[in-house]
Amino acid sequence: MTDYLIKGARILGGEPRDILIRDGLVAEVGGGLGGAGAAVIDADGLIALPGLVDLHTHLREPGREDAETVESGTRAAALGGFTAVHAMANTSPVADTAGVVEQVWRLGQEAGYCEVRPVGAVTAGLAGRQLAELGAMADSAAGVRVFSDDGMCVSDAVLMRRALEYVKAFDGVIAQHAQESRLTEGAQMNEGAVSGRLGLTGWPAVAEEAIISRDCLLAAHVGSRLHVCHVSTAGSVEIIRWAKSKGWNVTAEVTPHHLLLTDDLVERSPLGSYNPIYKVNPPLRTREDVEALRAGLADGTIDCVATDHAPHPVESKETEWSAAAMGMIGLETALSVVHAAMVETGLLDWAAVADRMSYRPARIGRVAGQGRPVEPGEAANLTLYDPAARTEVDPRGFASKSRNTPYEGLTLPGRVVATFLRGRPTVLEGKLA
Amino acid sequence: MSEARNVSRAVLEGPDIQRALTRIAHEIIERTKGAGNIVLLGIPTRGATLAARLGERIAQFGEVKAPVGSLDITMYRDDLRLRPARPLGRTELPPDGIDDRVVVLVDDVLFSGRTVRAALDALNDVGRPKAVQLATLVDRGHRELPIRADYVGKNLPTAKSEQVKVYLEEIDGRDAVVLIKREEDQ
Amino acid sequence: MRRHLISAADLSRDDATLILDTADELARVSDRSIKKLPTLRGRTVVNLFFEDSTRTRISFEAAAKRLSADVINFSAKGSSVSKGESLKDTALTLQAMGADAVVIRHSASGAPHRLANWVDGSVVNAGDGTHEHPTQALLDAFTMRRRLGTLEDRRVTIVGDVLHSRVARSNVLLLNTLGAQVTLVAPPTLLPVTVESWPCEVSYDLDAALPKSDVVMMLRVQSERMNAAYFPSAREYSRRYGLDRDRLARMPEDAIVMHPGPMNRGMEIAAEVADCARSTIVEQVANGVTIRMAVLYLLLGGETQ
């Protein structure tokens, strides 16, 4: 295994240091390091971050390999600076058995770009009627700790309570897609002034907030861990802040797109009116929501950023709005979007970015060896990031099989220069190694 | 570098226009044997105004009331696609219509003849006159179609690049025919 | 004018006035024995209807034919569309046929916006989902102007299912542009939650609005809405928001009654009100052809942008 000597990287944005990587570990950190025989990487001006961990990724395999595969999705993840991703369960077949989660986990191992941690379904077939074999998935080679019916909400209060209780046996967590189904029948976009003008059925904030409130109360009642997926409203941030103030074991994530984009893009954008590239679930919200989400991420109410990378083939988006699929890809732009929304605005420094995009998501997902500080003895999961670069987003250059990015044509700050997975580069000079 | 500027010169003043219209009115009465069966149809905008003036004169000199109307030809033009869509003018036929009447089309300037061609088409859709005649205040030449005027206020030799503008009291606040020439200054 | 007519918001006051003025002139053509004009000879207008709407389709068809355009009717039923062809592929087919204008009716809000990305010709929105129906608003404005002389400061009350009404959206925008004062009247369940951001007044009380109205426009209310708990019963709806003879009597004497059709007689409007002299419902249909001629002429009658 090649040793690497990274020269002059600013760890978490601090003073320049050299980092010596040997045998998959961070061997030494300091000034003027010499590494005999090590490949030298000039990291002048680059920031070193712990490898990013995504709690919410749709890799689409098995079932929709036309949109993404474990291999293409993890290549995209590596290019985005990620060293671990959680593969969501809404595949076909659904990841609701040990067999499916082990298959996904193995595909990740074979591809080798990123640690793939399968998420198990909470209910069999995501149908919301009976629990999937959560224990079997936890005990499988994949070692599942995060369970989610993402895409669907676990609506039944009793089922949700049982799931929260049951996963305590193996330190699991239920990641809830909070969406009251009756309030969102046929919903197309955020319910507000824009949906009213455009004549699109609204997805009201209360449909998210009602479920989050209920689930926080349930988690407190049974003393379990709850994780809230893709928080999108100011009200949700308030509820989670309140739950945390009670000392309840609730964590939450926000997507990069909910930190940057607003629902008025559906009406007017450089990419046209009613462009389904902006169709996503939960929907893009208002400027006030974006500000509240940023503040919540900054003060730690929201624990982490998770991409909700949701690849779709071109034909799923080149349609009228109501016929289009929901979701946007985000792995390859996540760090730049967080840079723009949180760092350039002064809300987070790079140490806090490491916390929200690596340490905390790894802890929530119980991912050993990930989300650790850049210190001697730790696994060498690292990302080198050039904060001075500015790049116009061109989906044609993406490693993802899909092109449904809402940032096309936008110039975003920063660029991932290198990614190391357990000491081995997956990305060098901004390209797959 | 050369600079272009417009030089305009009045070729007819108010009294000249009055005299020309008076003469045309007399000619119409003479040629139509008393103007008892005519309809004056002006082509908007200024042709319609001229038709009204001719009507007054014919009533005065011929002691007959010649029905006056207007005929918008916009929808019949052959050059619609050369310019953005234009607002429509008014088509207003006299209550008794034009069937079996002698229609005198009235326009301000006769140039290529394409407006008159369009007017003949438009006329075809609103009735069947006994005959159609053409009166124009100015004939500036350069015909592109086999069309000629029956009554001409003034024959005005022009270059094709020149512009002829007609001003009428009712619309523009004064009567005049102006020739506009683009001159290149060295 | 822009290349397309997709939303009433696309029209400036000058644009809208030009359309109404043009329609005024064209209305005269409808009165004569030869109703056809040669203006759009050689131009192709495609009526692309993904929803059944015979009224709107024949109105556009008559308008295009009176201007001598070639008309192709493309109905989604029984075509490749019903076999799963996408809107984009349909658009590319029309593009290949050389459509100069596509008149589209679609159940999805925003479908005309999407279509405009894929065809070079003009796109005319003939009703998209619960979004807009701009030519309906234009013909309504035209009808009001002919009856009332002007729209400036006229008080227009629009009653009914505003939430799901493309007619209401287009009318609010256009009437506001033309200087009228609009009041929406509906049960709160049938108003968008953010209706206060619209350029109009909102009321839940029809009886209070009637004496202050120069125009009362009744919207069609589908009885299916009842099942989704928007209101308890057809009878209760009709009692609170229906226009009957008693309510008609409370309107100013010269005020008019409008309805975009098709009507639910006995639901939002009583039969005797629909058929009374102050009702413009039949006029609206005739004016529909005229206004659509004006729109097609102004979009296609000039140079191709």
For the cut 70, the answer to whether the pLDDT of residue B143 exceeds it is yes
Q: Which residue of C has its CA nearest to B87?
A: C22
| Contact state of B76 with C34 under an 8 Å Cβ cutoff | no
Whether residue B158 has a cis bond before it, omega within 30° of 0? no
If we measure between CA atoms, which residue out of C12, C40, C297, C103 comes closest to residue B85?
C297
Give the chain C residue nearest A273 (alpha carbons). C113
Compute the distance between CA of residue C171 and CA of residue C252 in angstroms, rounded to an integer.
21
Q: What pLDDT score was predicted for residue B6?
A: 85
Closest chain C residue by Cα to residue A199: C131
**Best of A198, A320, A321, A322 to disrupt the C interface by mutation (most C CBs within 10 Å)?**
A320
What's the pLDDT tens digit per position in C247-292?
A: 999 999 999 999 998 999 999 999 999 999 999 999 999 999 999 9
pLDDT tens readout for residues A387-418: 999 999 999 999 999 999 999 999 999 999 99
Give the CB-side neighbour count of residue A418, counting CA atoms within 13 A.
24
Give chain C's mean pLDDT.
93
How close is the nearest chain B Cα to the Cα of C205, in Å? 42
Is the Cβ of C129 closer than 8 Å to some Cβ of chain A? Answer: yes
Nearest to B164 by CA among B152, B151, B177, B148: B177
First to last CA, chain B: 7
pLDDT, position C304: 65
Tens-digit pLDDT profile for residues C170-184: 999 999 999 999 999
* Residue C128: closest CA among A310, A199, A101, B133: A199
Domains C8-132+285-300 and C134-280 share a fold: yes
Residue-by-residue DSSP string for A95-151: S-SHHHHHHHHHHHHHH-SSEEEEPBPSBGGG-SSSB--HHHHHHSTT---EE--TT
When pLDDT is averaged across residues C82-96 and rounded to a whole number, the result is 84
DSSP 8-state secondary structure symbol assigned to residue A168: G
Cis status of the peptide bond prior to A62, with omega within 30 of 0: yes
Q: Is the pLDDT of residue B2 over 60?
A: no
Fold exhibited by the domain A4-47+378-432: Urease, subunit C; domain 1 (2.30.40)
Residues of A at the C interface, defined by Cβ within 8 angstroms: 188, 191-193, 195-202, 204, 272-275, 315, 318-323
Nearest to C38 among B72, B84, B121 (CB): B121
Residue A36 banded pLDDT, cuts 50, 70, 90: confident
Nearest to C108 among A193, A196, A323 (CB): A323
Mean pLDDT along residues C27-40: 88
Q: How much of chain C exceeds pLDDT 70, in percent?
A: 96
CB atoms within 10 A of CB A45: 14
Which residue in the list A96, A289, A308, A386 is annotated as catalytic?
Answer: A308
Residue C33 pLDDT level (bands cut at 50, 70, 90): confident
pLDDT tens-digit map of A204-260? 999 999 999 999 999 999 999 999 999 999 999 999 999 999 999 999 999 999 999
- Name the residue ranges covered by the structural domains of chain C: 8-132+285-300, 134-280
C303 to B87: CB separation less than 8 angstroms, yes or no:
no
pLDDT value at A335 more than 80: yes
Instruction: Burial-class residue C134 by CB neighbours within 10 Å (0-12, 13-18, 19+).
Output: buried
The minimum CA-CA distance between B83 and chain C, rounded to whole Å, is 5
- CB contacts < 8 Å between B and C, how many? 49
- The pLDDT of residue B186 is 47
CA–CA dist A182, A203 (Å, integer): 10
Q: Using DSSP, state whether C196 is helix, strand or coil.
A: helix
User: What span, in angstroms and rounded, lies between the C-alpha atoms of A256 and C159?
Assistant: 42
Per CB-CB distance under 8 Å, the chain B contacts of C291 are: none
User: Which residues of chain A are within 8 Å of residue C194 when distances are taken between CB atoms?
Assistant: 192-193, 195-196
Contacts of C32 in chain B (CB under 8 A): 125-126
Q: Annotated binding residue at C235?
A: no
Q: How confident is the model at residue C81 (pLDDT cuts 50, 70, 90)?
A: low
Q: Cβ separation of A274 and C130 shorter than 8 Å?
A: no
Measured in angstroms, the CA of B94 and the nearest CA of chain C are apart by 13
User: Distance (Å) from the C-alpha of residue C23 to the closest C-alpha of chain B?
Assistant: 9
- Both tokens of B99, joined, read 């069937």
What's the Cα-to-Cα distance from C154 to each of C143, C148, C151, C180, rounded to whole Å?
13, 8, 5, 5
At the topology level, CATH places domain C8-132+285-300 in Rossmann fold (3.40.50)
Nearest CB neighbour to A193, from listed C109, C117, C197: C197
Residue B89, number of CB atoms within 10 A of its CB: 19
Q: Nearest-CA residue of chain B relative to C295?
A: B85
Q: Are the beta carbons of B81 and C22 separated by less than 8 Å?
A: no
Model ipTM? 0.93
Q: Which residue has the tokens 């400027």?
A: A287
Closest chain A C-alpha to C268 CA, distance in angstroms: 22
From CA A300, how far away is CA A277, in angstroms rounded? Answer: 30
Q: Is A308 in the active site?
A: yes
For A51-365, which CATH superfamily applies?
Answer: Metal-dependent hydrolases (3.20.20.140)
pLDDT over 70 at C245, yes or no: yes
- The confidence score (pLDDT) of residue C30 equals 81
Buried b / exposed e across A348-359, counting CB within 10 Å, b at 16+?
Answer: bebebbbbbbbb
3-state secondary structure of C62: helix
Q: Please name the member of B83, B87, B91 whose beta carbon is closest to the beta carbon of C21.
A: B87
pLDDT above 70 (res A299): yes
| Residue pLDDT, tens place only, A343-391 | 999 999 999 999 999 999 999 999 999 999 999 999 999 999 999 999 9
Q: How confident is the model at residue A167 (pLDDT cuts 50, 70, 90)?
A: very high
Residue A309 DSSP SS3: strand
- Of C86, C88, C192, Cβ closest to residue A196: C192
Q: Tell if the CB–CB gap between B88 and C26 is shorter than 8 Å.
A: yes
* % of chain C at pLDDT higher than 90: 85
Q: Which fold has domain C134-280?
A: Rossmann fold (3.40.50)
| Residue of B101, B173, B164 lying closest to B136 (CA atoms) | B164
A331's tokens: 């792995």
Residue A90 assigned to a binding site: yes
A190 marked as part of a ligand binding site: no
Please indicate whether, in this complex, the C-beta atoms of C301 and B75 are within 8 angstroms of each other.
yes
Q: What is the mean pLDDT of residues A306-326?
A: 96
CB contact under 8 A, C302 and B91: no
Contacts of A197 in chain C (CB under 8 A): 169, 198
C133 is in an annotated binding site: yes
Decide if A196 and C193 are in contact by the 8 Å CB cutoff. yes
Angstrom CA distances, A92 to A61, A101, A117, A297, C252, stand at 8, 12, 17, 33, 64
- Tell the residue number behind the tokens 């998959």, with chain if given: A24
Contact A192 C113 (CB under 8 A): no
What is the model's pLDDT at position C227? 76
Give the one of C25, C39, C303 whose C-beta lies nearest to B90's C-beta. Answer: C25
Enumerate the domain spans of chain A.
Answer: 4-47+378-432, 51-365
> What's residue B83's pLDDT?
84
**What is the nearest CA distance from B101 to chain C, expressed in angstroms?**
18
The C-alpha atoms of residue B49 and residue B61 are separated, in whole angstroms, by 19
Are C109 and A319 a contacting pair at CB < 8 A? Answer: no
| C193, C200, C225, best to mutate vs chain A, most A CBs in 10 Å | C193
Q: Do B125 and C34 touch (CB under 8 A)?
A: yes
Q: Which residues of C20-37 are buried (b: 16+ CB within 10 A; e: fewer)?
A: bebbbbbbbbeeeeeeeb
- Selected residue of B88, B93, B99 to mutate for chain C interface (largest C Cβ count, 10 A): B88
Q: How many CB pairs under 8 A join A and C?
A: 71
Q: Which of A198, A285, A317 to mutate to test the interface with C (most CBs of C within 10 A)?
A: A198
Residue range B3-35, pLDDT digits in tens: 678 889 999 999 999 999 999 999 999 999 998
pLDDT tens digits along B52-72: 999 999 999 988 899 999 999
DSSP code per residue over A192-221: SHHHHHHT--EE-HHHHHHHHHHHHHHHHH
> Considering only A400-409, C31-40, C114-123, which range has the smallest mean pLDDT?
C31-40
Chains in contact with chain B (at least 3 beta-carbon pairs closer than 8 A): C
Residue ranges and CATH numbers for the domains of chain B are 13-77+99-159 (3.40.50.2020)
Judging contact as 3 or more Cβ pairs under 8 Å, the answer for A and B is no
Mutation target to probe the C interface, by most C beta carbons within 10 A, among B74, B75, B83, B98 is B75
CA distance C102 to C45: 6
Of A321 and C81, more confident? A321
